[in-house]
Structure 1
Amino acid sequence: MMPTAAPLATGSARWADALLQSFAQAGYARAEPAILQPAEPFLDLSGEDIRKSLYLTTDAGGEELCLRPDLTIPVARDYLTSGRAGQPAGFSYLGPVFRYRGGRPSEFLQAGIESFGRHDSAAADAEMLALAIEATAAFGLTDVEIRTGDVALYTALIDALDLYPVWRRRLIKDFNRKISLKQDLERLTLATGSSRNEYEGVLAALAGSDRKAALALVTDLMSIAGATNVGGRSVAEIADRFLEQSTLKGGALPRDALDLIKRFLAIAGDPDEAIVRLRALANDAKLDIAAAIDQFESRVGFMAARGIDISSTRFSTSFGRGLDYYTGFEFELHRRGDGFEPLVAGGRYDGLMTQLGARSPIPAVGFSVWVETLTELGCQPVARDSSEGQS
């Protein structure tokens, strides 16, 4: 039997109402997406932690469905089917989500904001962080630890290194996983062609090939064998795996690339210090990552303009939230000194909208509030001054 969440206590209900009121005053309309959702977007686009925690079912027509494990994708899907798709629009939400959590209640409350269609990305990012801080302050928690990162900086670095496409895909994919990227880099660096493989002939044939050639070869081989998949993997997935193994056998990750990635991932501190170190690395290694650093610096300026104490904000180039769809700014708010589980977390996910069916890219950024985690801290809701205007 699936563990369920307890009903909201009176104090929690008051806090939730105050939170939704503050979101509405900031200009974010209430969204209420369906609890039952198509499973495919979550299986394809979410991180591994969410994928393995889904509650799945199948309808009469054979479509795989799930109880929503998160509200970002459902709110985004509703926006894309509305008449406002492609236009700037902001939504807030409060409702139950469902994930297997190893003995903890699988149904729990999530609140948050999603902002779509704004092209002033740096300003929108700063607004999300400011509203997230307000969300914790509304519940009486004013001393929070702010942890931030930026996937776009890492992606810019990997692109500037001009690696094999297989290396690029693998290193970018690994960044958002809960494994240590540093350990993975060590493993990839030590890879050699000394071990034997039952598919040596295929790997040799793929040496130096691109993805299109690999797909054609694997398609032909599987056609001859009369197979359409192996172990549940599609032809494309098998081709990618073979191409990756062929590249690994051709030699380890170049030492200079490894050193630069490690230097990059070691940058941490307050954002202003990080900007100085990033520019120094880019100049020293002649890396074309200035645009990504400029965007980062612009965001920091907007954060300061919103009253966020930059010197007390922690930035790390290795910070990631484990969700595959993030493409830029990421952040978490933790209780200072006791912060394994985030109180609020979010970031930028510009690529998600086209993956969900949008005809052209739509900028998107948002955050989620862990209602019950904040409730457990025992703070009291703080009413927001109704005279405050919209953000």
Structure 2
Amino acid sequence: MSLTAAPRATGSAAWADALLLSFAQAGYSRAEPGILQPAEPFLDLSGEDIRKSLYLTTDASGEELCLRPDLTIPVARDYLASAQVGQPAGFSYLGPVFRYRGGQPSEFLQAGIESFGRQDRPAADAEMLALALEATSAFGLTEVEIRTGDVALFTALIDALDLYPVWRRRLIKDFNRKISLAQDIERLTLATAPGRNEYEGVLAALAGSDRKAALALVTDLMSIAGTTNVGGRSVSEIADRFLEQSTLKGGALPRDALSTIKRFLAIAGDPDDAIAQLRALADDTKLDLTAAIDAFESRVGFMAARGVETRLTRFSTSFGRGIDYYTGFEFELHAKSNGIEPLVAGGRYDGLLKRLGSPTAIPAVGFSVWVETLANIGKPDANKPASNTPAAKGSVS
């Protein structure tokens, strides 16, 4: 599989540089991470779409490396290695990224912003969306579609339902990976199909157990067998798998929980309507979702203050971008004329930096711009610098 360099759209590089200047004027300094990156963070933390598109290699020491498929993780790693770590800091970037895309160029330009350490999360989220709109406007697109969601709302719902940990992990994983969650929930409610499982005795022994008990049982069994792993899986991974299967075998997701999740996932529309529906759901089910809904409402207020016509914004509780490390606000900007692939996309990822080695969680939010796609679709005004381009207002649906 060979890399194919992307043909630069006429003027796209120049307009990208102007866009980067506008980001700098907004207070985001230039970051230039290395093109060759450790592969492990992308394999462990990214969504399936990125994992399956990596270009991998191994150095002389045996370390697995990759050409960067995205710039969020590289910028985050550089921030963690800097003297600014733990302090509010914002970075912009412009450079090539590399992904296998099935017939499309494997190398393409990406610009964007990453913001770390800001505690005013709703305001920071709104700033990202406003700057993303400025990016599309800089390329001559004044009619874009804004699609938004919030992983934190779904996580708050699942936590409030107080489900078994296995259900929590599975539902949140499926949400983040863009599986049709409603169909998945239906499938999970079915009891295990009849027929003897070769591990039925182990599953029966684990029924109702917690993770500590499951780990102890599997450790003992594997010690007796004289092995420490099976098929590359560790004892803890095997214990988690057995515990998951025993929970699934034990019966259906509680009917009231299933009904609540389905009602939640059906909420969509403009943000104000969604907020009203979410508060009604919380009242009817007596679930404490106040903090997550309040944060959502605060963000909408900051969006309006930034000039975004929120009533024209599309919000859906089931919206997800398929990136495993997102923890909150997510958004995509699409061209009305061609809404299949996003032009700009981003979101909040408060847990990523801790998973990359930070001793504590650090708030983080950002977005990426697909420069050449924007240049091909948009019609930039050569006499109008990107830094003076206002955010698109009243142009979303």
- TM-score exceeds 0.5: yes
**What is the CA distance between 1:18 and its match in structure 2?**
1.2
Tell me how far apart the structure 2 counterparts of residues 34 and 140 of structure 1 sit (CA, whole Å): 31
Give the alignment of 1:95-110 within 5 angstroms.
95-110=95-110
TM-score (norm 2): 0.95
Alignment of 1:18-167 (within 5 A): 18-167=18-167
Once residues 386 and 168 of structure 1 are traced to their aligned partners in structure 2, the CA distance between those partners, rounded to angstroms, is: 46
Rate the CA distance shift 1:9–1:248 in 2: closer, same or farther, 3 A: closer
Aligned length, in residue pairs: 388
Matched residue of 1:83: which SS?
A: coil
Corresponding residue of 1:276: 276
C-alpha separation in 1, matches of 2:323 and 2:374: 22
Deviates more, 1:366-375 or 1:228-237: 228-237
Aligned equivalents of 1:29, 1:155: Cα separation in 2: 33
Alignment of 1:345-364 (within 5 A): 345-364=345-364
Deviation by residue 1:83-110 (Cα, 9 ceiling, x = unmatched): 0000000000011111111121111111
Q: Structure 1 stretch 343-352 or stretch 15-24: which is displaced more?
A: 15-24
Matches within 5 A, 1:140-289: 140-192=140-192, 194-289=194-289
- Asked whether the 8 Å contact 2:282–2:288 carries over to 1, the reply is yes
Question: Partner amino acid for 2:240?
Answer: D
Q: How far 1:370 sits from its partner (Å)? A: 0.8
Distance 1:277 1:363 in 2: 28
Matches within 5 A, 1:257-336: 257-336=257-336
Other structure's SS at 1:212 match: helix
Q: Is this contact kept in 1: 2:116–2:365, CA < 8 A?
A: yes
Query: Do 2:114 and 2:364's aligned partners in 1 also have CA atoms closer than 8 Å?
Result: yes
Paired residues of 1:90 and 1:114 also in contact (CA < 8 A): yes
CA distance in 1, matches of 2:165, 2:387: 53
Which shifted more, 286-295 or 223-232? 223-232
CA distance in 1, matches of 2:56, 2:69: 10
**Is the deviation greater in 169-178 or in 316-325?**
169-178
Deviation string, structure 1 residues 311-364 (Cα, Å, up to 9, x no partner): 110000000000000000000000014211000000000000100000111000
What letter corresponds to residue 144 of structure 1 in structure 2?
V
What is the rounded CA distance, in whole Å, between the counterparts of 2:336 and 2:117 in structure 1? 33
Question: Residue type matched to 2:150 in 1?
Answer: D
1:242 deviates by 0.8
**Percent of aligned pairs with the same residue?**
82
In the TM superposition, residue 378 of structure 1 has moved relative to its aligned partner by 4.6
Residue type of the alignment partner of 1:71: L
Instruction: Give the 3 Å change call, closer, same or farther, for CA 193–223 of structure 1 in structure 2.
Output: same
Counterpart CA distance in 2 for 1:33 and 1:204 is 51
**Does residue 383 in structure 1 map to residue 364 in structure 2?**
no
Aligned letter for 1:68?
A: R
- In structure 1, how many angstroms separate the alpha carbons of the residues matched to 2:103 and 2:6? 14
Q: Distance in 2 between matches of 1:31 and 1:128?
A: 17
Offset of residue 281 of structure 1 = 0.4
Amino acid corresponding to residue 138 of structure 2 in structure 1: A
How far, CA to CA, are the matches of 1:57 and 1:99 in structure 2? Answer: 14
**TM-score normalised to structure 1 length:** 0.96
In 2, distance between residues paired with 1:48 and 1:9?
Answer: 29
Point out 4+ residue stretches in structure 1 off by more than 4 angstroms.
385-388
Check the 8 A contact 2:22/2:387 in 1, yes or no: no
Q: Secondary structure at the match of 1:50?
A: helix
1:45 Cα deviation after fit:
0.5
Unaligned residue ranges in structure 2 (runs of 5+):
391-397
The offset of 1:175, in angstroms, is 0.5
Shift of 1:387: 11
User: CA separation in 1, counterparts of 2:148 and 2:387?
Assistant: 29
Distance 1:186 1:385 in 2: 49
Shift of 1:220: 2.1
* Letter paired with 2:339: G
RMSD: 1.5
Decide whether the 8 Å contact of 1:192 with 1:252 is kept in 2.
no
Measured in 1, the distance between the counterparts of 2:40 and 2:107 equals: 20
Q: CA deviation at 1:386?
A: 6.0
Tell whether the 8 Å contact from 1:344 to 1:370 is kept in structure 2 after alignment: yes
1:195 Cα offset (Å): 3.6
Against the structure 1 CA distance between its residues 386 and 52, is the aligned structure 2 distance closer, same or farther, given a 3 Å change threshold? closer
* Structure 1 contact 90–113 (Cα < 8 Å) conserved: yes
User: SS where residue 114 of structure 1 aligns?
Assistant: strand
Query: What is the rounded CA distance, in whole Å, between the counterparts of 1:378 and 1:346 in structure 2?
Result: 20
2:207 touches 2:246 (CA, 8 Å); kept in 1? yes
Cα contact 1:193–1:250 (8 A) shared by 2: no
Cα distance between partner residues in 2 of 1:337 and 1:147? 15
| Cα distance in 2, alignment partners of residues 47 and 134 from structure 1 | 27
Which structure 1 segments of 5+ residues have no match?
A: none
Letter in 2 for 1:163: L
Distance 1:159 1:378, change over 3 A: closer
Deviation at 1:227, TM superposition (A): 2.5
Structure 1 residue 190, shift from structure 2 partner:
1.4
CA distance in 1, matches of 2:195, 2:298: 48
Q: Residue type of the partner of 2:178?
A: K
Q: Which residue of 2 aligns with 1:11?
A: 11
Counterpart position of 2:394: none
Per-residue CA deviation, residues 240-286 of structure 1 (Å, 9 max, x unaligned), is 11111000111111111000000000000000000000000000110
